[in-house]
Amino acid sequence: MPDLSASPPTPPIPLSALLADGDLGLRRVTGPRGEEHSGQREDESVDVHWVHTSEMTDPYPYLLGGELLLTAGVQLTDAHADTYVARAVEAGAAGLGFGVTPVYDAVPPALVAACERHGLPLLEVPARTSFTAVARTVWRLMAEARHRELRRTTQAQQGLAAAAARPDPVPAVLRQLAVRLGGRAVLFAPDGTELHATSRAPSRAARAGLARLAQVVRTGPAAPTSATDTTDTADGGHLAAYALGGSDGLVLGVATDRREAGDHTVAGVAVVLLSLLTAPHQGAGEAGRSAALVRLLLGGTPVEAAPLLGPGPWTVVHARGGDTPFAAGALAADLGSALVESDGSVVRIVTDREVSARPGWVLGVSGPAEPADLALADARAGRALRRAEATRTPLVRHREAGFAGLVAEDEAAAHARTRLAPLAAGPPALVETLRTWLSLHGSWDRTAVALAVHRNTVRQRIGRCAALLDADLDDADVRMELWFALRWL
């Protein structure tokens, strides 16, 4: 099934919202009937991310997942109905809307039976309603939902900022966060005890789940900076834990009855505020960073100040994106760092955590660097960000060439065998194609002529090489490394 994590930033809408629109006149033929389950109507769990109209016999290649698939059944037959519905479900379709004109006067019974068998919601689109009208209504409802989400997050940001200015800021921020999310907020100490918590008590399973998630984001230098889970208790619920940026093990835990659009953004603002508010209680690492800043302000050189940051290794991140005033701080907190600055266009962060892609951001990441080499790492992160933007890639890492100087022939051959070992899993022609393509400076046409194959075959083989080697073949350093490796293989 397609990955819905690639869905657009606009929030989805429940299928029930379309059914409730009187102007459309849609009728539910099969699917959830809206029975109550733990206070939530079942049909509201069916989310529509977009609309797609197709009269193809097999919809699978044209769906990304989450669509309301609209069809008039131009090529649909009773014998083909089950296969059609099965493929739509496999592609992740949210539901099927069937127009009763001009091909059919009613929804075919075979299609109804297939949808019931595979659990795909089926809606009848009346003759007076065009597919364009359905799509327009979906986009309108999405825009309204997005507006509500932005208004909610803005109000939450204002409320959290006001709470941070109170005489008891940490408990006040936790209370405000709990009110905004409709749940319980907890600040965990490094040993797992609750330092502060709002009064609403979750179930025993939820408390245990929060403690477990707090341990997940606290364990080891490569631990994630956030984690989420959905409880499997009878009353359900959503759990989330966030490591406070720059802290020595402080973790924010949140338990809510359900997750709503904008919850992660609101929690991110709270993480930034709590990271700042708890800074005086953080450990020697934070004190060392403050000392490094003081050293620089008093005339020290970067080489003198760098050792105060700690042993490292450190990674420099250049980022572009974010659409709120707190976005830079929230990203830094998500990456486990308080070392962040922004010029209004590019955010620069220094962290000792492993960096992965973040929704809504384009990231350029340097390789690990010692404190004295952070200036070089900063330049490399900048180049990586420009390459990420040029290739429309969420994250690009700087990669060392690997052959900066002369090396012994036996060492070079050993390195070549190791570097090119992943290609052994593919067809033998991959190595020769890569060698020819690199020798011809990446020319698809000249490589195709040299190998007597179609240029699309060359593209497919080079793409397979890039995947197996986990390498960015647009990077000149990577090409140079692979060229020398092929020569020494």
Q: Are 18 and 10 in contact (CB under 8 A)?
A: no
Contacts of residue 227, Cβ cutoff 8 Å, sequence gap at least 6: 213, 216, 217, 240, 241
Q: Are 456 and 352 found together in one domain?
A: no
Among 257, 274, 291, the domain-final residue is 274
**Order of strands, sheet of 347-351, starting from the edge strand that comes earlier in the sequence:** 339-342, 347-351, 315-321, 361-365, 395-397
Among 109, 126, 142, the domain-final residue is 142
Find the domain containing 123 and state its range. 4-142
Q: Are 392 and 425 found together in one domain?
A: no
CATH number of 366's domain? 3.30.70
Establish how many alpha carbons lie within 13 A of residue 246's alpha carbon, considering only the half-sphere containing its beta carbon: 30
Question: Taking the model in full, what pTM does it have?
Answer: 0.46
Q: Are 456 and 349 found together in one domain?
A: no
Q: Is residue 12 part of a domain?
A: yes
Q: Are 333 and 415 found together in one domain?
A: no
Q: Is residue 382 part of a domain?
A: yes
Q: Are 221 and 263 found together in one domain?
A: yes
The count of domains in the chain is: 4
**Two structure tokens written together for 341:** 């600055």
Backbone angles phi, psi at 45, to 5 degrees: -80, -10
Q: Are 233 and 321 found together in one domain?
A: no
Q: What pLDDT tens digit does each residue of the chain (489 aa) get?
A: 444 444 445 678 889 899 999 999 999 999 865 443 333 344 446 889 889 999 999 989 888 888 999 999 999 999 999 999 999 999 999 999 999 988 999 999 999 999 999 999 999 999 999 999 999 999 999 888 888 888 888 888 888 888 887 777 888 888 898 888 888 888 888 888 888 888 666 677 777 778 888 888 776 555 566 656 554 443 557 888 888 875 567 888 888 877 777 788 888 888 888 887 776 544 445 556 666 666 666 666 666 776 666 666 788 999 998 765 567 777 887 787 777 888 778 889 888 888 888 888 999 999 888 777 788 888 889 888 988 887 888 998 886 554 444 555 666 677 778 888 888 777 788 888 888 888 888 888 888 887 888 988 888 888 888 888 888 888 888 888 888 888 776
* Residue entry with tokens 């974010």: 322
Q: Is residue 28 part of a domain?
A: yes
Cα–Cα dist 287/277, whole Å: 15
CATH number of 425's domain? 1.10.10.2840
Cα–Cα dist 452/6, whole Å: 38
